[in-house]
Structure 1
């Protein structure tokens, strides 16, 4: 393997070499957030729900009623009456419902943040996969060139009748296999680019300058969990649901109070008329029956549900964090061992000097390549697991 590949893969994969790479990743995620049609549609949904929630706190429409009674057995003039009135719930109900609507808006925003996080996490994982495939493509291109060189060398020896047809065929098959692997990687890259385009509102995303470069350290477990408690939308959604259910219970308690109606009434007959104010109260016997108890039970459920889900999420977080720490330790062992070797280069040199037969060379080569590929896969898995652990920062 050439020195520049060893340096690029093993020397600086997990060290921040500059802010431009990180900024490139952030810019791509920001572009996806702005163009993603799912998020745009959900913003419109939030706006419609907020307006609908506000409409539930409006006063009922005023009522105008009248009587004109010209018929009947009477000795007086026609009787007329009209009345205009406005009914409304007890004033404290509107204040309680307004607070509840505000909390429902906060719930909608938390749900949007949660959905946004899922979209951006998916995009970040695809970008990590893409960066890995592009790096792997460079390695496979180097391997294909080396395979071609070995095949050409064996073909030359075969023409000189110094090796048999079997060795030549094996070298050709090995070279063809490298071409197939490279073609498969290019196909996988195109699939990822297409998926990213879809996430970006079906607009092309410039990923040519992308270089994923994430720090290896992610902080202590306790500090990271405290960050999640403050920033993670899934945990914030639980708190928002709990607070909203408490306010709903307060709203139902206020709705037990009587509704009020005020208005103006006019009556007239035989040139005489009477007019004055109208007022009324509803008697809250049936309308709010069991609603306070139902709201209280819902609030208790939200409290219990928040505790259960928070405990489950913390257990999952601990498992992921411990797995990340173990994988990071193993990766460093691989990196220290393999990164300090030039096995492929030395093998190729020994083969060219005639110290190995083609089959011996090929078997040894596959052993080191598999080990190196495993290290690269481990690095990608570390990046993906880190993205999951730090998704609250998106």
Structure 2
């Protein structure tokens, strides 16, 4: 029994959080490289960039050739050749180019935001998997300890030193522990499948089951200032405001006359006529509602940008407050759990007959429940921290 108690104490000590570097970065790098959604979006980004450049070149030149035979015979023939090139008002080209650059920038930022969302999902799965693995160690320890007790009780029953009630209590306790073991194992398998799916169907080998090395967060205002500088969606909405303004400017430029220039050559009855032509298309009706449409879209973009700023600020504020509370609770758990050896005391008390079997199981379950709550708090802490720092991914 003494040897068993020492083994159990060492096992429990190993369960407490260690400050160690995990392979989380390696997992995220693999997923970024192999994720099919990210790969598809990168290909789509190239198509979008080309789409935004479609309207940059000049209009196609126009060429017309007419050959007409006169009637009656002897009236001769008519040859008419037209070469024509149309242009938008000159200011439209500069505005169109700037708009294209803004839209390309938005597409890049949208890809970055989507990538961060996928990596955050992977990170949260990883954190949950670490929690489940640590919990599985605790359940395995309980399982081994209960199996050992059951064997001891059965031996005592055979020699007449024990009773059937202790054996039955140990069996019932073992059934409950085995159920927890199987349920937690199913959760581990599901999380591993999730990571495999995010990794493009490729297996991910985990080197460690510890969380990344812990580091504190700066004050909220400093963190929010960093968020504003790096968050792709913040930049996206900010840039969308600019592109919406450029679209209004472009539509106003497109409402100005279009210019066309060309060359015309004509032969008629042995006479030749040639020269240049200049024309203008006055857009009286074509763009009647387009400027107003773009102005309405600009108003929407401004409101959307303002809404995102307010929403993200208060969401992050709430997350940060939860992070602070979880951090304090986590430290309280660590201070208490690192300085107690409840299971060792209970084993000794049971061995000496100071407590009954039912008391032993009640007290040990209370300890394990507290430790499970500690692991859940640790998981929640890292999940919230991942949400707060998603803009760094």
TM-score band, normalised by shorter chain: over 0.9
Q: Deviations over 1:126-168 (max 9, x none)?
A: 1111111111111111111100111111111111223322221
| Alignment of 1:104 onto 2:84 | no
| Alignment of 1:144 onto 2:135 | no
Supply the distance in 1 between the matched residues of 2:173 and 2:209 (Cα, whole angstroms).
Answer: 31
Supply the distance in 1 between the matched residues of 2:9 and 2:350 (Cα, whole angstroms).
Answer: 19
| Map of 1:259 onto structure 2 | 258
Residue 169 of structure 1 deviates from its aligned partner by: 1.1
The answer to whether the 8 A contact 2:11-2:141 is kept is no
Residue 80 of structure 1 deviates from its aligned partner by: 1.3
SS in 2 for 1:65: strand
Under a length normalisation based on structure 1, what TM-score does the superposition of the two structures give?
A: 0.93
SS in 1 for 2:53: helix
Residue 254 of structure 1 deviates from its aligned partner by: 1.3
After TM superposition, list the pairs within 5 Å mapping 1:84-233 onto structure 2.
84-233=83-232
The answer to whether the 8 A contact 1:25-1:210 is kept is no
| Alignment of 1:392 onto 2:387 | no
SS in 1 for 2:85: strand
Residue 72 of structure 1 deviates from its aligned partner by: 3.1
| Map of 1:68 onto structure 2 | 67
Supply the distance in 2 between the matched residues of 1:159 and 1:206 (Cα, whole angstroms).
Answer: 47
Greater CA deviation, 106-115 or 158-167?
158-167
Greater CA deviation, 243-252 or 292-301?
292-301
SS in 1 for 2:303: helix
| Map of 2:328 onto structure 1 | 329
Supply the distance in 1 between the matched residues of 2:155 and 2:54 (Cα, whole angstroms).
Answer: 85
Q: Deviations over 1:211-230 (max 9, x none)?
A: 32242511110111011101
Supply the distance in 2 between the matched residues of 1:223 and 1:6 (Cα, whole angstroms).
Answer: 39
SS in 2 for 1:55: coil
SS in 2 for 1:332: helix
The answer to whether the 8 A contact 2:70-2:78 is kept is no
Residue 6 of structure 1 deviates from its aligned partner by: 4.6
Supply the distance in 2 between the matched residues of 1:143 and 1:80 (Cα, whole angstroms).
Answer: 101
After TM superposition, list the pairs within 5 Å mapping 1:341-380 onto structure 2.
341-380=340-379
The answer to whether the 8 A contact 1:154-1:168 is kept is yes
Supply the distance in 1 between the matched residues of 2:55 and 2:286 (Cα, whole angstroms).
Answer: 17
Supply the distance in 2 between the matched residues of 1:73 and 1:123 (Cα, whole angstroms).
Answer: 84
Supply the distance in 1 between the matched residues of 2:220 and 2:12 (Cα, whole angstroms).
Answer: 32
SS in 1 for 2:45: helix
Supply the distance in 2 between the matched residues of 1:7 and 1:97 (Cα, whole angstroms).
Answer: 66
Supply the distance in 1 between the matched residues of 2:143 and 2:109 (Cα, whole angstroms).
Answer: 50
SS in 1 for 2:81: strand
| Map of 1:29 onto structure 2 | 28
Residue 238 of structure 1 deviates from its aligned partner by: 1.2
SS in 2 for 1:90: coil
Q: Deviations over 1:253-293 (max 9, x none)?
A: 21122111111100102221011112211112112223222
Under a length normalisation based on structure 2, what TM-score does the superposition of the two structures give?
A: 0.94
Unaligned runs of 5+ in 2: none
Q: Deviations over 1:289-343 (max 9, x none)?
A: 2322222222122112211221121111111111110121122112212221111
The answer to whether the 8 A contact 1:81-1:266 is kept is yes
Supply the distance in 1 between the matched residues of 2:76 and 2:213 (Cα, whole angstroms).
Answer: 93
| Map of 2:305 onto structure 1 | 306
- How many residues are aligned here? 387
Residue 70 of structure 1 deviates from its aligned partner by: 0.9
Distance 1:11 1:205, change over 3 A: closer
Supply the distance in 2 between the matched residues of 1:374 and 1:157 (Cα, whole angstroms).
Answer: 35
SS in 2 for 1:244: helix
Residue 4 of structure 1 deviates from its aligned partner by: 3.9
